[in-house]
C-alpha cells in the first residue's frame, strides 16, 4: 500500500467502475422500500459552483446512506434549459459574430441553442462525477425533453380549462434590456439615491395667475402619461379641488382630480400625479376610478409617439433630463430634493424595470397557494430549518397572479393557437396544433402559435413528477412520488420550491417531497458572497483537484448547519484532507499488523479484553448517533461524530491500545485475544459509516480489508450501513477505560508540569475508589505502562512527597526515579508551585460555590434528584482532588 495518500489516484477510477457496475441504476418495481431525491436541475450550460457541490454532497450522502440501508434509492439527475440565461449566452456568442437573433430567425436560433446545449450538457455530468455523485444516469432528464414538454402542455391545458390560466392586458414588470416581461420574483428592489421633483400644475379655469397645485415625483418623464391627480379624501387642503381638474404642463392635458384613500397625506404635498400605464400604484388607482392610461414608454425603454413629438424616441432617462429642463425653463419646477427610495431592477440584466402595459399569460395561483400553506401547517411538508415557515406563510398569503409568458425564443412555446378571422382573433389552447385545429374547425395551417414561451420555472415546477413520466401513470411515478427529500439553497424557495409544492398538490394530489432542507449560501472565508466580479469564487473542480472530492464533501457536509450561510475557507478543506490521510494511514497500520485475521461480520464480545470491548461499545454508540443525526438531516453533527470517533477514539486511543498486543512478545500478562480481528472489524464498520460522506476513500480502503467480501462481494456502496449492536454496548467498561485514559493523560501532563524529559524515569502510584475501575486498571497494567512509559506501577495511595492528583476517581501519584526519593515538594520548581497554587485557588472557589448550592433548600427541593446527586459526587471529587494537590505541595 502506497505510503502517500493521493486521492486523485483512485477517485475517478472508482467513479467509472461504479458506473460500469451499474450499481446506481434503479429497477422498478422492487421489493425494497423506495427512496428518491430529484436533483435541483442546474442550468444546462452552466458551471457548477460551490453551492451545487454542497447540495450534491447532501443529496448523495443521503442517497448512499439509504442505498446501504437497503432502500431502492434513486437520485435522479437532470438539467434545466434556463430560458433567459441560456438565450443570453447564445446571443452573446452571436454578437461575437456580429449578428443578433433576429438576423438568424427563430428556428435557426433555436437550432443553434440546441447545439450549444448538446455541447455543454456533458460537463454537468462530468462535474457531478468528479464529486462522487451516485445518480442514476439512465433516468437523466432535461426540462426541454419531448416528454417533459408533453407534461408542460398537459398542465397548461388543464390549468387553462380550469380557468386558472388566462390571457390579458395588465401592467407587468418589463425588462427593456431583455425585451420580455418578468415575474414579480425576478424584480430585485434596490435602494438608490434619487431625486424628488416637485412640479407645479395649474388648476383649470383659475386664470394665468391663478391657483397651482404641486405634485412630487421621482420619475418626471412619466408625467407625459399623466391622466389624473389624486389626493386623500380626508385631506382638508384639497377637498375644494373635487370635481375640478389640473392642466398638465408641457402638454396641456386636462387631469381630473380624484380622491382616494390609497394616497398618503404625509408624502410630498399629499397630491399624486397619476400615470396609470407606468406605475403599479397608479395603475391600481386608475382602475378603481375608471381612468384611462397612456403608454408613453415603449418596450425598448424609449419614449413612444404618444409622449409627443419632442420626446418620442428618446431613452427614458434622457427624456427625464429633457422634461426637467423644460419644466425649469417654463417655471413649473418648484424644487428638487435628494430622495432615497427603492427601485425595481431586473434581476437578470440589472437595469431598472419599466412597468408597462402588455398582453401576457397569467396563472392564478391563489387556490394552490392556500393548499401549499395548508401542507406546511399540518406537517405534511416540513421545511428545515423551521424558521422558514413564517416566510412561507407570508409569501403565499400575499401571492399575486404569476406572469408566465416570456417574450423569448428558448423555452416551452405556449400551446395556444390563434385564428385570424378578420376582426375576430380567436385563441385555442390545446395539446397540439392538430387538436387546436380540430377545435377551431379549420386546417392546422390556418393557425398561428403564440410566439411566447413559458417562464422557465413553469416547467421546473413540474420537475418532481414530469421526470417520472407524468402525465402517464408510470411504474416510476408510482414507486417514487412523493419523493422523500429536497435540498436547495433558500434563495429559490419561492421561485422553485413553492411552485413545485403548488403544482404537485394540484396535479398529483400530494406534496412533491416530504422534507425540504434549505441550505445557506456558500460564502468565502470572510463571509462575503461569492461573485465573479469580486473574484472570490471557488471552483469545485479546482478544489477537488487540490484536496480530493472526499475532503470537499466532508467539509461541505460539516458546514451545513441549519439556518446559516456557509463560509468556506480552504484551510478547512485541507484539514479534512488530513483526515483522509489519517484514515489512509490507520488502515495502512492495520493491514501491516493483522496477520491472517479477517473482517468479522459480527463479533461476540465475550472473552475480549477491556480495550476491545471499549472500542466495540464506542463503535456501536457512534453508529447509533450517526444514524440518528442522518434521520434528522443533521449532516454537520453526523460528520462531527464520525470525525471524533475515528480520529479521537480509534486512532488516538484504540490503535495505541492495540499496539502492545499486536507487537509480538509484548502482549504482557493480561490476555488480549482477537485484537487483530477487532481492529479490522472496527475499521470495516468505520469505513462503512464514513462511506456516504467520503465514498472514494472508503471504497479504496475497504477493498483492501481481508474478508470484506463477506460483508458485500463487490462494493462498499451496497454493503449494509452499520447499526447499533446492543451486545457490544458496555457502559461499565467505557467508564473504566475513560478512567484509564484520564490517568494516562494526567501522567503525561504531570511529566510536562514537573519539567521532566519525556524519557525521564517515573514510578506511578494508582488508587481507584471504585473497585471495578481499580480492577480494570490493574488488568491493564501493561497498557498503562506502555502508554505512560513509567517504570513500574504501585497499587495504592501515593507515598509522601509524590506529585499527585485525582482524575476520574483515581488518585494518580508520580515519583521521579532519577531525582532521588521523589518528585515532590522539595524539588518543585517555582513555576509549578505557582500553577498548583492557582489550581487550588480555582478549586476552592468552585468547592465553595458547589457547597453553597448544595446547602440551598430551594435547589435541593426543586432540582431533579439526578442533578443533585451529580453535584454531590462532583463536590466529593473536588475535595479529594484538593487534598491530593495539597499533599503534593507538602501542605
Partner RNA sequence: AGGCCCGUAGCUCAGUUGGUUAGAGCGCUACGUUGACAUCGUAGAGGUCAGCGGUUCGAAUCCGCUCGGGCCUACCA
Residues of span 638-657 touching RNA by CB under 7 A = 640, 647, 651-652, 655-656
Residues 270-289 that bind RNA (CB under 7 A): 270, 272-273, 279-281, 284
Q: Does residue 561 belong to the site contacting RNA (CB under 7 A)?
A: yes
Q: Does 886 bind RNA (CB under 7 A)?
A: no
Contact 141, 470 (CB under 8 A): no
The nearer residue to RNA, 125 or 874, going by C-beta atoms, is: 874
- Identity of the residue, 288 or 425, whose beta carbon is nearer to RNA in the bound complex: 288
Question: Is the Cβ–Cβ distance between 614 and 734 less than 8 Å?
Answer: yes
Q: Candidates 64-72, 511-519, 524-532, 668-676: pick the segment binding RNA (CB under 7 A).
A: 524-532
Footprint of RNA on 734-763 (CB under 7 A): 745, 748-749, 752-753, 758
| CB-nearer residue toward RNA: 78 or 293 | 293
Q: Is 582 near RNA (CB under 7 A)?
A: yes
State the DSSP string of 153-181: HHHHHHHHHTT-EEEEEEEEEEETTTTEE
Q: Rule CB under 7 A: say whether 563 interacts with RNA.
A: yes
Quick check: 571 binds RNA (CB under 7 A)? yes
Q: Tell me which residue of 545, 582, 496, 518 sits closest to 384, measured CA to CA.
A: 518
Q: How many CB atoms lie within 10 A of CB 302?
A: 18
Distances (CA, A) of 108 to 87, 95, 174, 590, 740: 13, 15, 26, 63, 77
Residue 766 · residue 812 · CB < 8 Å: yes
The SS3 assignment for 763 reads strand
Binding to RNA in span 360-419, by CB under 7 A: 387, 390-391, 394-395, 398
* 471 forms part of the interface with RNA (CB under 7 A): no
184 lies in the site for RNA, by CB under 7 A: yes
Cβ distance to RNA smaller for residue 17 or 588: 588
User: Is residue 317 involved in binding RNA (CB under 7 A)?
Assistant: no
Ordered alpha helix ranges (H), 132-245: 146-161
CB atoms near residue 540 (< 10 Å): 25
Q: 828 to 857, contacts with RNA by CB under 7 A?
A: 846, 849-850, 853, 856
Question: Counting contacts by CB under 7 A, is residue 321 touching RNA?
Answer: no
**Minimum CB distance to RNA, residue 283 (Å):** 9
Q: Which of residues 189-218 bind RNA (CB under 7 A)?
A: 189, 215-218
> To the nearest 10°, the Cα dihedral for 383, 388, 392, 394?
160
Q: What residues numbered 618-637 form the site for RNA, per CB under 7 A? A: 636-637
How many chain residues are in contact with RNA, going by CB under 7 A?
94
Query: Contact at 8 Å (CB) between 452 and 405?
Result: yes
Looking at the Cβ atoms of 396 and 887, the one nearer to RNA is 396
Q: 214 pairs with which residues across the strands?
A: 200
Indicate the burial class of 779 (C-beta count within 10 angstroms; 0-12, 13-18, 19 or more). Answer: middle
- 593 belongs to the binding site for RNA (CB under 7 A): yes
Q: 99 vs 192, which CB is nearer to RNA?
A: 192
Structural contact between residues 647 and 582, judged by C-beta atoms closer than 8 angstroms: yes
3-state secondary structure 302-329: EECHHHCCCCCCCEHHHHHHHHHHHHHH
122 binds RNA (CB under 7 A): no
- CB of 117 vs RNA, minimal distance in Å: 29
Interaction of residue 549 with RNA, rule CB under 7 A: no
d(CA 453, CA 550): 41
Stretch that binds RNA, among 164-172, 357-365, 565-573, 810-818 (CB under 7 A): 565-573
Q: Applying CB under 7 A, does 536 fall inside the site for RNA?
A: no
Q: Which is nearer to RNA, 94 or 854 (CB)?
A: 854
| Choice between 274 and 716, CB closer to RNA | 274
Task: For residue 874, state whether it binds RNA (rule: CB under 7 A).
Answer: yes
For the CB of residue 476, give the shortest distance to RNA in the complex, in Å: 34
Judged by CB under 7 A, the stretch of 21-29, 142-150, 364-372, 870-878 that binds RNA is 870-878
Nearest residue (CB) to RNA, 188 versus 435: 188
| 494 sits near RNA (criterion: CB under 7 A) | yes
Burial of 349 (0-12, 13-18, 19+ CB in 10 A): middle
Alpha-carbon distances of 48 from 19, 42, 356, 604, rounded to whole Å: 21, 7, 36, 48
* Residue nearer to RNA on the CB measure, 425 or 835: 835
**Residue 47 vs 265, nearer CB to RNA:** 265
Between residues 407 and 569, which has the closer beta carbon with respect to RNA? 569
Provide the mask over 769-798, with x wherever binding to RNA is found by CB under 7 A and - wherever it is not: --------------------x---------
Residue partners of 269: CB distance under 8 A and separation at least 6: 198, 213, 214, 215, 216
Contact present, 872 and 799 (Cβ < 8 Å): no
Q: Does 100 bind RNA (CB under 7 A)?
A: no
Bridge partners of 297, per DSSP, are 303
Q: Shortest CA distance to 403 belongs to which of 173, 191, 596? A: 173
Closest residue by Cα to residue 812 from 799, 792, 798: 798
Residue 268 binding RNA, by CB under 7 A: yes
Is 668 strand, coil or helix?
coil
From residue 702 to residue 741, what is the string marking binding to RNA with x (rule CB under 7 A)? ----------------------------------------
Judged by CB, which is closer to RNA: 67, or 634?
Answer: 634
Amino acid at each position: 500500500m502506497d505510503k502517500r495518500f493521493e486521492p486523485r489516484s483512485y477517485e475517478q477510477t472508482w467513479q467509472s467502475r461504479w458506473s460500469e457496475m451499474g450499481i446506481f441504476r434503479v429497477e422498478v418495481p422492487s421489493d425494497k422500500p423506495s427512496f428518491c431525491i430529484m436533483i435541483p436541475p442546474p442550468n444546462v450550460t452552466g458551471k457548477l459552483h460551490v453551492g451545487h457541490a454542497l447540495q450534491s454532497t447532501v443529496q448523495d450522502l443521503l442517497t448512499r446512506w439509504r442505498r446501504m440501508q437497503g432502500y431502492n434509492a434513486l437520485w435522479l439527475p437532470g438539467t434545466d434549459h434556463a430560458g433567459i440565461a441560456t438565450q443570453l449566452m447564445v446571443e452573446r456568442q452571436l454578437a461575437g459574430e456580429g449578428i443578433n437573433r433576429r438576423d438568424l430567425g427563430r428556428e435557426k436560433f433555436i437550432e443553434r441553442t440546441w447545439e450549444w446545449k448538446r455541447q455543454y450538457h456533458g460537463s454537468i455530468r462530468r462535474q457531478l462525477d468528479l464529486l462522487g455523485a451516485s445518480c442514476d444516469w439512465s433516468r437523466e432528464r432535461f426540462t426541454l425533453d419531448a416528454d417533459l414538454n408533453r407534461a408542460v402542455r398537459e398542465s397548461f391545458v388543464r390549468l387553462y380549462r380550469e380557468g386558472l390560466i388566462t390571457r390579458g392586458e395588465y401592467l407587468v414588470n418589463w425588462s427593456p434590456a431583455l425585451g420580455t416581461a418578468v415575474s414579480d420574483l425576478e424584480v430585485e428592489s434596490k435602494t438608490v439615491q434619487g431625486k424628488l421633483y416637485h412640479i407645479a400644475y395649474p388648476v383649470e379655469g383659475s386664470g394665468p395667475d391663478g391657483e397651482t397645485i404641486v405634485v412630487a415625483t421621482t420619475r418626471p418623464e412619466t408625467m407625459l402619461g399623466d391622466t389624473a391627480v389624486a389626493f386623500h379624501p380626508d385631506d382638508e387642503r384639497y377637498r375644494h379641488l373635487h370635481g375640478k381638474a389640473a392642466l398638465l404642463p408641457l402638454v396641456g392635458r386636462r387631469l381630473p382630480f380624484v380622491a382616494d384613500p390609497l394616497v398618503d397625506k404625509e408624502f410630498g404635498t399629499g397630491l399624486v400625479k397619476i400615470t396609470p400605464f407606468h406605475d403599479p400604484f397608479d395603475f391600481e388607482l386608475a382602475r378603481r376610478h375608471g381612468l384611462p392610461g397612456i403608454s408613453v414608454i415603449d418596450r425598448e425603454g424609449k419614449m413612444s409617439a404618444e409622449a409627443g413629438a419632442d420626446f418620442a424616441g428618446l431613452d427614458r432617462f434622457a427624456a427625464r433630463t429633457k422634461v426637467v429642463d423644460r419644466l425649469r425653463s417654463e417655471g413649473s419646477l418648484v424644487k428638487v430634493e435628494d430622495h432615497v427610495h427603492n427601485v425595481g431592477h431586473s434581476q437578470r440584466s440589472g437595469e431598472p424595470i419599466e412597468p408597462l402595459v402588455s398582453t401576457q399569460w397569467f396563472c392564478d395561483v391563489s387556490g394552490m397557494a392556500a393548499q401549499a400553506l395548508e401542507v406546511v401547517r399540518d406537517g405534511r411538508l416540513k421545511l428545515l430549518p423551521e424558521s422558514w415557515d413564517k416566510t412561507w406563510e407570508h409569501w403565499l398569503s400575499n401571492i399575486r397572479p404569476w406572469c408566465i409568458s416570456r417574450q423569448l425564443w428558448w423555452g416551452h412555446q405556449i400551446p395556444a393557437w390563434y385564428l385570424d378571422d378578420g376582426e375576430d382573433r380567436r385563441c385555442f389552447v390545446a395539446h397540439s396544433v392538430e387538436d387546436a385545429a380540430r377545435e377551431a374547425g379549420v386546417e392546422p395551417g390556418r393557425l398561428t402559435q403564440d410566439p411566447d414561451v413559458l417562464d422557465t420555472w413553469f416547467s421546473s415546477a413540474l420537475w418532481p413528477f414530469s421526470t417520472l413520466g407524468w402525465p402517464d401513470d408510470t411504474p416510476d411515478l408510482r414507486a417514487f412520488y412523493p419523493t422523500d427529500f429536497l435540498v436547495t439553497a433558500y434563495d429559490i424557495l419561492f421561485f422553485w420550491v413553492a411552485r413545485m409544492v403548488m403544482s404537485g398538490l394540484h396535479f398529483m394530489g400530494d406534496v412533491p417531497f416530504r422534507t425540504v432542507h434549505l441550505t445557506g449560501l456558500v460564502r468565502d472565508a470572510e463571509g462575503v458572497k461569492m461573485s465573479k466580479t469580486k473574484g472570490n469564487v471557488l471552483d469545485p473542480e479546482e478544489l477537488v483537484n487540490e484536496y480530493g472530492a472526499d475532503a470537499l464533501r466532508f467539509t461541505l457536509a460539516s458546514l451545513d448547519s441549519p439556518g446559516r450561510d456557509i463560509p468556506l475557507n480552504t484551510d478547512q478543506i485541507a484539514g479534512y484532507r488530513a483526515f483522509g490521510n489519517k484514515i489512509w494511514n490507520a488502515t495502512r497500520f492495520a493491514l501491516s499488523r493483522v496477520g491472517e485475521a479477517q473482517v468479522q461480520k459480527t463479533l461476540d464480545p465475550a472473552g475480549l479484553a477491556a480495550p476491545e470491548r471499549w472500542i466495540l461499545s464506542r463503535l456501536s454508540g457512534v453508529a447509533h448517533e450517526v444514524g440518528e443525526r442522518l434521520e434528522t438531516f443533521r449532516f454537520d453533527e453526523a460528520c462531527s461524530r464520525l470525525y471524533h470517533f475515528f480520529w479521537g477514539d480509534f486512532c488516538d486511543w484504540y490503535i495505541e491500545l492495540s499496539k502492545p498486543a499486536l507487537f509480538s512478545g509484548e502482549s504482557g500478562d493480561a490476555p488480549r485475544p482477537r485484537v487483530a480481528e477487532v481492529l479490522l472489524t472496527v475499521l470495516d464498520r468505520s469505513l462503512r459509516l464514513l462511506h456516504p460522506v467520503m465514498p472514494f476513500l472508503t471504497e479504496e480502503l475497504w477493498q483492501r480489508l481481508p474478508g470484506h467480501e463477506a460483508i458485500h462481494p463487490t462494493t462498499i456502496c451496497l454493503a449494509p450501513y452499520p447499526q447499533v449492536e446492543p451486545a457490544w454496548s458496555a457502559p461499565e467498561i467505557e467508564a473504566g477505560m475513560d478512567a484509564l485514559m484520564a490517568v494516562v493523560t494526567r501522567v503525561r501532563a504531570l511529566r510536562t508540569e514537573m519539567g521532566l524529559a519525556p524519557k525521564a524515569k517515573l514510578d506511578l502510584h494508582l488508587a481507584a475508589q471504585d473497585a471495578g475501575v481499580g480492577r480494570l486498571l490493574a488488568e491493564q497494567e501493561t497498557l498503562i505502562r506502555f502508554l505512560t512509559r513509567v517504570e513500574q506501577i504501585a497499587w495504592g495511595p501515593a507515598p509522601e512527597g509524590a506529585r499527585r492528583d485525582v482524575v476520574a476517581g483515581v488518585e494518580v501519584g508520580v515519583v521521579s526515579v532519577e531525582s532521588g526519593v521523589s518528585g515532590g515538594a522539595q524539588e518543585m520548581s517555582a513555576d509549578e508551585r505557582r500553577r498548583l497554587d492557582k489550581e487550588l485557588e480555582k478549586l476552592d472557589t468552585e468547592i465553595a460555590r458547589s457547597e453553597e448550592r448544595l446547602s440551598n433548600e430551594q435547589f435541593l427541593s426543586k432540582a431533579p434528584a439526578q442533578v443533585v446527586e451529580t453535584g454531590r459526587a462532583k463536590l466529593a471529587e473536588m475535595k479529594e482532588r484538593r487534598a491530593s494537590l495539597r499533599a503534593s505541595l507538602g501542605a
